[in-house]
Amino acid sequence: MTEVRMPKPGDAITEAEITEFFHEDGGSVTEGEPLYSIATDKVEMDIESPATGTVSWKVSEGGTYEVGELIAVIS
């Protein structure tokens, strides 16, 4: 099982909004492919999957979350 946590896209950034999930809950993901997209007041970026498996989202699309918060689990 691999935990997916909100990354820190910049030094002064403490939170980011999840703008889009690229895979539905329970869907298959492959390591290295885009998993979800985030946005801050300074940057927008796609976050790659750190592992291959089945994704289980722990947060909601459109929500704003702190850096380090658990976003999903890949099993």
| DSSP-derived 3-state class of residue 25 | coil
Question: CA triplet 26, 46, 31: central angle to 5 degrees?
Answer: 50
Question: Tell me: the pLDDT tens digits for 2-55?
Answer: 999 999 877 888 999 999 999 999 999 999 999 999 999 888 999 999 999 999
Given pLDDT bands bounded at 50, 70 and 90, which one contains residue 59? Answer: very high
Question: Buried (b) or exposed (e) across 12-33, using 16+ Cβ within 10 A?
Answer: ebeebebeebbbeeeeebeeee
d(CA 53, CA 15): 26
The model carries a pTM of 0.91
